[in-house]
Structure 1
């Protein structure tokens, strides 16, 4: 095990609360080609009863390791969003005791309002990690249990920034495999959120002409103040050589693919289920594999390239963000303990600032 992963283990040992075998966790997670130190950390203070890997980011070798220690269930988002399906699964694997759900991407959001009444266990709450997932929980006027979100924590900002940088790194690497580069072309970023902002900055620093599509007027003003020209979707599709989809809410729909500039490359920062509506494109275009991770879509003289089947491209290169991922995972651990040990009211909430400050100080002691 490398020094970084050893430091991560020591960091998690430092922040983990007292052991509580009565608390059960169900964890949605990426299974990248790295040691599962976060799952190991969770198991130190409670029982991980089920792991739900995100289907688009599974390393076979890591999956085999995790299956030796945990119950692993692989389901699509559409299956988990059904209250009948997810309640049946949870009742099978967690038939009693207190339970907390750890979510990445709002997998439990659709079913949550009806879920507690269908469970044999006592659902204490949910911890959600991503902005995309937070938006899914925000769609409900009322929530039956506390949902603590890490998405807008200041401790997540470094990970979001580095994720944007890794997206640009992967995009350049994938284009070079096709004997093409970004320089000299026009790039557009759909969505000027935390990751989109980082992508735009990285492209600007590489002297790549970059514009932004943003429907939120506040974010649009911020993008403009940073020197980025705003552009509408139709003009962006017709003029851009490289398209980064970073909204988490369907940047491109079925009709948009007919308007994409010839030879353009499309890169996504999240799963195709969230970012792209590909059903008609897959059936209406002739699709051929250009490289291992780049597909060429062609029809009636129009053609464009789609990376990684529309899924997050940074996972191709292991999505490395260094030790900052452990800061986010550390806040998840703190949030689990907060729900378990405090009287948190139902609804959306965040970890208190003193808890974040303590976590930051401990992270700096190990990694700073």
Structure 2
């Protein structure tokens, strides 16, 4: 076994989660290298009733391994967002006891309002991992259950930072497959959030001329203070050779694609559903595969290159962030226990600092 994975298993074992036979989990997750150790840790204190893999981050070998041990259903986001479909799926998997939903990206947010009354099990709450998912729950006027978010936890910061680094690594690798390099060109990052600022920092360290598109004035000031010039979307598309989309909220709409500079490379840090409005672009542009993960879009003399069909490019290379992924997964486990143990109000919550401190100390003892 990979020594890192073995350490991860020992780390999860030391979290001392009390087994609860009546607790069921429905888990949205990436099925990449560390998934088996993480899911085994969850199964150690609760029953995994169903796994819903994120469709665009599935390693076929990991999927085969997981399907041998756990119930898995491959569903599109639109299916899960339907309360009728979601309730039917969950009721087939969980007929009694307590239920907690583990979410990555707000998959359950659209249906959560009407979901509890349709379930056979008692829904105790939701654990949400990502910033995009948190925002989907925040816009709901009335939550029927508590939502424990780890999206803004300081323990997630290292993963967000390393995700940005892995995005730049993957972008360079994909461009080299097309006999191209970033050096000598102009790059732009749409969105100066946690991952966007990491991308910008990595590009700057490689001496790549990098500008920022940011509509939030507070983040724009932060980018400016770090030495990055701000640029409008229109000028960015016309002048940039490499474009990173890191807003999680449709950086580019359908008419923006006609403004992209000839020969530019377009990279996303999340799924195309969240980041890019490709529906009309795919109907207007002729698409030609250039390599396994790069497609050339062309119309009326204009052309650009889109990576990984508009989905997160770091998943091509397994989105590796080293042992820090175990820290995030460990906080998910702590959040599940917190939901089960405490009488929380029906609102968005975070873990107490005392729990995070304990988790961080445990991680340090295993990995530092």
Specify the TM-score bucket, using the shorter chain as the normaliser. Answer: over 0.9
**Pair 1:269–1:337, CA change in 2 (3 A):** same
**Pair 1:248–1:16, CA change in 2 (3 A):** farther
Task: Give 3-state SS (helix, strand or coil) of 1:124's partner.
Answer: strand
Answer yes or no: is the 8 Å Cα contact 1:192–1:212 preserved in 2: yes
Q: Deviations over 1:131-183 (max 9, x none)?
A: 01001111112211000001000000000000000000000000001001101
Does 1:123 pair with 2:134?
Answer: no
Alignment of 1:69-88 (within 5 A): 69-88=69-88
Q: Deviations over 1:58-101 (max 9, x none)?
A: 11111111011111011111110111110111111111110000
1:108 aligned partner: 108
Tell me the CA shift for residue 281 of structure 1: 1.1
2:293 aligned partner: 293
Does 1:31 pair with 2:46?
Answer: no
2:359 aligned partner: 359
2:154 aligned partner: 154
Where has structure 1 moved over 2 Å in runs of 4 or more? none
Tell me the CA shift for residue 35 of structure 1: 5.5
2:192 aligned partner: 192
Distance in 1, Cα, partners of 2:237 & 2:325: 33
Tell me the CA shift for residue 344 of structure 1: 1.0
Distance in 2, Cα, partners of 1:258 & 1:84: 39
Tell me the CA shift for residue 276 of structure 1: 0.5
User: How many residue pairs end up in the alignment?
Assistant: 368
Distance in 2, Cα, partners of 1:344 & 1:13: 26
Distance in 2, Cα, partners of 1:237 & 1:105: 27
Distance in 2, Cα, partners of 1:280 & 1:55: 22
Distance in 2, Cα, partners of 1:190 & 1:61: 33
Q: Deviations over 1:170-206 (max 9, x none)?
A: 0000000100110111100000000000000000010
Distance in 2, Cα, partners of 1:217 & 1:111: 32
Distance in 1, Cα, partners of 2:259 & 2:165: 28
Does 1:346 pair with 2:343?
Answer: no
Task: Give 3-state SS (helix, strand or coil) of 2:304's partner.
Answer: strand
Distance in 1, Cα, partners of 2:239 & 2:59: 36
Distance in 2, Cα, partners of 1:157 & 1:83: 33
1:183 aligned partner: 183
Tell me the CA shift for residue 34 of structure 1: 4.5
1:221 aligned partner: 221
Distance in 2, Cα, partners of 1:33 & 1:3: 13
Distance in 2, Cα, partners of 1:35 & 1:280: 35
Task: Name whichever of 144-153 and 26-35 sits farther off.
Answer: 26-35
Does 1:91 pair with 2:91?
Answer: yes
Tell me the CA shift for residue 33 of structure 1: 3.9
TM-score, length-normalised on structure 2?
Answer: 0.99
Alignment of 1:167-182 (within 5 A): 167-182=167-182
1:201 aligned partner: 201
1:274 aligned partner: 274
Give unmatched runs, 5+ long, in structure 2.
Answer: none
Give unmatched runs, 5+ long, in structure 1.
Answer: none
Answer yes or no: is the 8 Å Cα contact 1:16–1:45 preserved in 2: no
Task: Give 3-state SS (helix, strand or coil) of 2:325's partner.
Answer: helix
Answer yes or no: is the 8 Å Cα contact 1:150–1:332 preserved in 2: yes
Distance in 2, Cα, partners of 1:73 & 1:229: 45
Distance in 1, Cα, partners of 2:176 & 2:244: 16
Answer yes or no: is the 8 Å Cα contact 1:16–1:333 preserved in 2: no
1:2 aligned partner: 2
Distance in 2, Cα, partners of 1:160 & 1:316: 17
Tell me the CA shift for residue 356 of structure 1: 0.2
2:321 aligned partner: 321
Distance in 2, Cα, partners of 1:290 & 1:115: 44
